[in-house]
Chains A and B, each alone.
Chain A
């Protein structure tokens, strides 16, 4: 169920053209009769008033082969000279990769534009093409589920299960935004994430770059991240918020720490991080003050002491012993265990680390879930998964494997029209203005546009989630946790 603050409004792309899936070719046999322009309701064919010749077809507007069933306007059949043909556009192969397929990117754009899953049936967007993990898991729907009305289905989850008198934080959808630091993304990106978090009654995270003033109106929906460099961490930033997150490691670069180049440490970034402008800033690995679970507890106690209502989240990556780390964190007093898998996103990480270090989240979730359960601690901590949650289906599978909810990052940026070209950090930064502080590039969109795109994406996911819960005959997303019996794996069945 969406909160009342969520209002869906169409928010189209900021670019003139989309990336086309199909290619419409007009051969020399065309006599410029204009029949195609008259019949195509999508505007693929154009002839400007007074011009003799047809303009080249506008490929991205074409709905492709499913148009064949439209007898009255399928241009390929209607053309009297049979001068038109339809094929897959080679341009589409240049977009996406096997984890984030071109269909998945385009579908995410549509969700961000309309607020709903695509009506087109030609996009395979629920599964990637990576050949493993989520992409090999399928949902098993029962034949005759109990009847449940959409309106009666709850997607809310509680984040504090300790009954320790601290804030009883409930989020309306089991997803929140990952940490992206001030400086790593544009101000409009950061602000829109916070505004959307407020609209959806969920959270966004500061990342390790300080707590800019523009986020103050959204304090109740912001997580302050405390990472190893302790940049921008002050008593005041810890006291502002309901959740404080300790970041031990990041899935994309586990065990490596971070490095902000001197050139990126501009005046405003330096002020926010309380550092000297122009010097390279290192976030070391690991926390230099944590060499044992007792040290870890000391840190959690320190936060709890400083902010008596805050919940503490502990973000770790996924080594072999992630289950042990999770249990240790629980005993140290964490409310939320956030595990970040190896295939997660990043603004910059060594390729060798992204591919090779630590396990994918799909294995880590059941590992941690069962270990916590065997320890009798599963019901008193919240388990959040991230690192490769691309779609609503991934989210559902993660929950079935044992998570309570998920954190997403890349999907949010794709909603803002990221193409995952991977050049977030090089030169002037993101060419599409999402992850850049370059004065010209960062102005490519405003936070109104971005907020609505994110709100729409969250809505489309929530809509799919409710759909799925209805098919399972469930009234709450919490019933789904750990239900591996609702999944099947194509290699094992």
Chain B
């Protein structure tokens, strides 16, 4: 049996101030009786260290919203509300609760577990408009979570043959292409930005090495301290800049080129110029814009082996109104129609914020996903959507020891990996490679709602039209 893929997690708290969800204020009518310290089992209420006759301000990170202090305070002196700082986090896509979840996973590396049923909306836009299926009795993994060691999350990057050809003597004549295995359907993707301090960059590379995946960096941002790790770095550049980054390309296993019309037109020449430098695989990164499925089909017919479709940070098409979920489906189906889907790999990115987005993107037709913002959030970054996109790294981020920053990202990926296994286990799917385009293992809101409620409740007149 091949070596099992395992992500080593290790509890790693971060020494920065994180935002709490709730706020409790102590009214002036508090008589310092200490009842709250007795009823709170989470130690959110304590006496003041400076003056034990008084009560300290509530420690809200510990509060789990059980309401006991509120309901048992003899004077009704405690007032709870949602923390405005918390509510201001993120926006309509990056919901405040996602931050708490990512912070927790980065700290302990575990699957977030809680009691009581799901609290969110019935359905939602994008990935929230689909559920994954499960298999009640017969399943290939047989043992559910306890058979997880039999589930492989590995995927391949690169060109695959549609079929093999042999000559009359039975010898193989097909040329087998070079492919790269990635043990988890996730690569990191960090755009150029001045908020990425050198230690953060090193931590992201170190984490990519640790989980045996890759990180995509703009070639001009690759500093000398990370150059030695080119085996795990995918330099991103324009086709025109290939020669100026020859040294990086020589050491890389995979490189990425920005899409342009010119690139599409001259792809075979461009591909050859890379080949002259190194056997590295080439990704073409294309923004998820209107008509991207046509561009991708052209790219693939022109010989591109890996396509990276990048939506915006909220998982929306660039200047369009499709969600990345629908863009991936469109691209996938287009390539199926062209009968070339099996021959190439697709990376999807933009709005991959939670573990569930990874298998969902695969079900829609991606081979793997690229993740950026959650890695920064794991390091304490705050993201705001309104009035415009803003990322605030915590104060002192440049002082966080490399080992801690690296481990938090590894923890997050460990937690995501476990969650991907949970979903695959429930689906009865043993290999992440088989998830790709497997929409039969998903339940799409649009389809099932129409199929069940539409048939039952559509007004007769309307139905006849």
Q: Please list the residues of chain A having a beta carbon within 8 angstroms of any beta carbon in chain B.
A: 13, 15-19, 55-56, 58-60, 90-91, 93-95, 97-100, 130-133, 135-136, 248-249, 252, 254-257, 259, 282, 284-288, 290-293, 296, 316-317, 319-322, 325, 342-360, 362-363, 366-367, 387-388, 410, 418-428, 430-432, 435, 441, 484, 487-489, 491-493
Q: Tell me, rounded to whole Å, the shortest Cβ–Cβ distance linking B422 to chain A.
A: 6
Please determine whether B65 and A419 come into contact, CB atoms closer than 8 angstroms.
yes
Q: Which chain A residue lies CB-closest to B144?
A: A285
B115 touching A346 by the CB < 8 A rule? yes
Flag if A56 contacts B136 (CB, 8 Å). no
Known contacts A319-B135, A352-B355, A432-B68; is-contact A388 B117 (Cβ 8 Å)? yes
Nearest Cβ in chain B — how far from A297, in angstroms? 12
Q: Is the CB of B133 within 8 A of A319?
A: yes
B168 within 8 A of A: no
Interface readout for B49-79 with A: 1 if CB under 8 Å, 0 if not? 0000000000000001111101111111101
Q: How far is the CA of A321 from the CA of B445 in the complex (A)?
A: 16
Q: Does B303 interact with chain A (Cβ within 8 Å)?
A: no
> Assuming A93-B81, A291-B138, what are 5 further A-B pairs, CB within 8 angstroms?
A136-B122, A292-B138, A350-B113, A354-B114, A431-B66
Q: How far is the CA of A491 from the CA of B111 in the complex (A)?
A: 36
The answer to whether A345 and B116 touch across the interface, beta carbons within 8 angstroms, is yes
- In the complex, 27 of the A-B residue pairs with CB atoms within 8 angstroms, ordered by the A residue number, are A17-B72, A59-B76, A90-B79, A93-B82, A98-B119, A130-B122, A249-B134, A252-B117, A256-B425, A282-B146, A284-B143, A285-B144, A286-B137, A317-B136, A319-B134, A319-B136, A351-B113, A352-B354, A352-B423, A353-B426, A366-B456, A388-B117, A419-B67, A421-B65, A427-B42, A430-B115, A491-B449
Chain A residues near B72 (CB-CB < 8 A): 15-17
Contact string against A for B residues 428-457, beta-carbon threshold 8 Å, 1 for contact and 0 otherwise? 100000000000000101001100111011
B136 touches A344 (CB 8 A): no
Contacts of B118 in A (CB 8 A): 99, 252, 342-343, 351, 354-355
B452 touches A357 (CB 8 A): no
> Would you call A94 and B80 a contact (CB within 8 A)?
yes
Residues of B within 8 A of A431 (CB): 40-42, 64, 66, 68
Question: 1/0 per residue B118-155: CB within 8 Å of A?
Answer: 11111100000001111111110011111000000000
Measured between beta carbons, the chain B residues less than 8 angstroms from A362 are 453
Residues of A within 8 A of B135 (CB): 255, 319
Contacts A17-B72, A292-B137, A320-B133 given; indicate if A420 touches B101 (C-beta within 8 A): no
Task: Determine if A322 and B41 form an interchain contact, defined as CB atoms under 8 angstroms apart.
Answer: no
Q: How far apart sit A492 and B41, CA to CA, in the bound complex (Å)?
A: 48
Tell me the smallest distance from the CB of A105 to a CB of chain B, in Å. Answer: 10
Pick the residue among B64, B137, B453 that contacts A421 (CB under 8 A).
B64
Which residues of chain A come closer than 8 Å to B449, judged between CB atoms?
A: 132, 363, 491
A489 touches B426 (CB 8 A): no
Contact B134 A358 (CB under 8 A): yes
Q: Does B5 contact A (CB under 8 A)?
A: no
Q: Does B356 contact A (CB under 8 A)?
A: yes
User: Judging by beta carbons under 8 Å apart, are A91 and B80 in contact?
Assistant: yes
Would you call A95 and B67 a contact (CB within 8 A)? yes
Nearest-neighbour CB distance to chain A for B181, whole angstroms, equals 25
Q: Does B4 contact A (CB under 8 A)?
A: no
Nearest 8 A/B pairs, CB to CB: A132-B122, A424-B115, A255-B426, A285-B144, A431-B66, A15-B71, A90-B81, A97-B119
- Which among B74, B115, B121 is the interface contact of A347 at CB below 8 angstroms? B115
Closest to A249 in B: B136
Whether B112 is near chain A, meaning CB under 8 Å from some CB there, is: yes
Task: Please indicate the chain B residues that have their CB under 8 angstroms from the CB of A60 in the complex.
Answer: 76
Q: Are B29 and A56 in contact (CB under 8 A)?
A: yes
> What sequence of 0s and 1s flags, for each residue 172-205 of chain B, a beta carbon within 8 Å of any chain A beta carbon?
0000000000000000000000000000000000
A357 to B72, CA, bound (A): 38
Shortest distance between the CB of B49 and any CB in chain A (Å): 23
| A18-B71, A94-B22, A421-B65 given; A356·B131 CB < 8 A | yes
Q: Is the CB of B457 within 8 A of A489?
A: yes
